[in-house]
């Protein structure tokens, strides 16, 4: 004889009752995106309200560009009760910056105008665009804008150019008739005049008492005194 038919197995899914749900209220700083168990939730004006949410444990993650994510575990209460969560301000995300180079060794490192150390340098700075300066005596200031990212370090091995040496000399100038003197745009005064000027070719503008202007070019030797007598006509 065939076995008697059996009743189908009862459902293992319990019906949802009012006591199994609650409400979740999340406040967050501007610009923060909320994820619950990996699912993105829309935040309006820094507030997220979810009603009739199944009670239980959830993973909450807060994300914001260029900032470290924040993760916590929350427990949504049942019985229609509210659960309130406040997301703190997220810390700035940081990336690694390494600076080396033989020329740059010993140079002061400035990031966005703030001194952070010397070369060789290994440190962490905020991700995003950063203005880097290296300053070393006897060398021209090195400047570069770079993008700092999380993960692998950003590495710089710059070559620094030696600073050009500026030499000066002294010029003693007499003009006939007298005149007011400008040398390479610098006012020296009325002749006879003696002044310290940059060595090399010096462009003179000579203005006489009656308003006539004359132009002359002279050569001033480094660390020497150069004497010139100029007749203006």
Q: What is the pLDDT of residues 38-72, one digit of tens each?
A: 999 988 888 988 888 899 999 999 999 888 899 99
Structural domains of the chain, ranges and CATH numbers in brackets: 19-86 (2.60.40.1120), 94-156 (2.60.40.1120), 168-231 (no CATH)
Which stretch of 12-26, 41-55, 139-153, 162-176 has the lowest confidence by average pLDDT? 12-26
Per-residue pLDDT reduced to its tens digit, 127-150:
999 999 999 998 989 999 999 988
Local confidence band at 4 (pLDDT 50, 70, 90 cut-offs): very low
Burial 194-229 (b: 16+ CB within 10 A, else e): eeebebeebebbbebeeeeeeeeeeebeeeeebebe
Tens of pLDDT along 102-119? Answer: 889 999 999 999 999 999
How confident is the model at residue 90, as a pLDDT? 93
Kindly report the backbone phi and psi dihedral angles of residue 18, in degrees, each rounded to the nearest multiple of 5, phi listed first: -60, -35
**pLDDT surpasses 70 at 1:** no
């Amino acid at each position: 004889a065939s076995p008697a038919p059996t009743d189908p197995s009862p459902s293992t899914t319990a019906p949802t009752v009012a006591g199994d749900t609650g409400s979740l209220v999340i406040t967050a700083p501007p610009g923060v995106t909320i994820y619950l168990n990996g699912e993105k939730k829309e935040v309006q004006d820094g507030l997220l309200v979810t009603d009739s949410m199944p009670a239980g444990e959830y993973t909450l993650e807060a994300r914001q560009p260029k900032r470290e994510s924040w993760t916590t575990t929350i427990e949504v209460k049942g019985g229609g009760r509210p659960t309130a969560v406040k997301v703190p301000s997220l810390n700035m995300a940081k990336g690694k910056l390494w600076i080396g180079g033989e020329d740059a060794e010993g140079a002061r490192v400035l990031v966005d105008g703030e001194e952070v150390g010397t070369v060789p340098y290994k440190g962490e700075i905020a991700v995003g665009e950063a203005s880097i300066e290296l300053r070393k005596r006897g060398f021209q200031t090195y400047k570069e804008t770079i993008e700092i990212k999380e993960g692998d370090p950003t590495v710089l091995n710059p070559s620094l150019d030696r600073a050009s040496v500026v030499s000066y000399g002294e010029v003693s100038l007499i003009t006939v008739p007298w005149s007011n003197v400008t040398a390479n745009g610098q006012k020296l005064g009325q002749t006879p005049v003696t002044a310290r000027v940059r060595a090399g070719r010096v462009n003179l503008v000579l203005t006489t008492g009656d308003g006539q202007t004359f132009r002359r070019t002279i050569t001033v030797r480094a660390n020497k005194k150069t004497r010139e007598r100029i007749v203006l006509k």
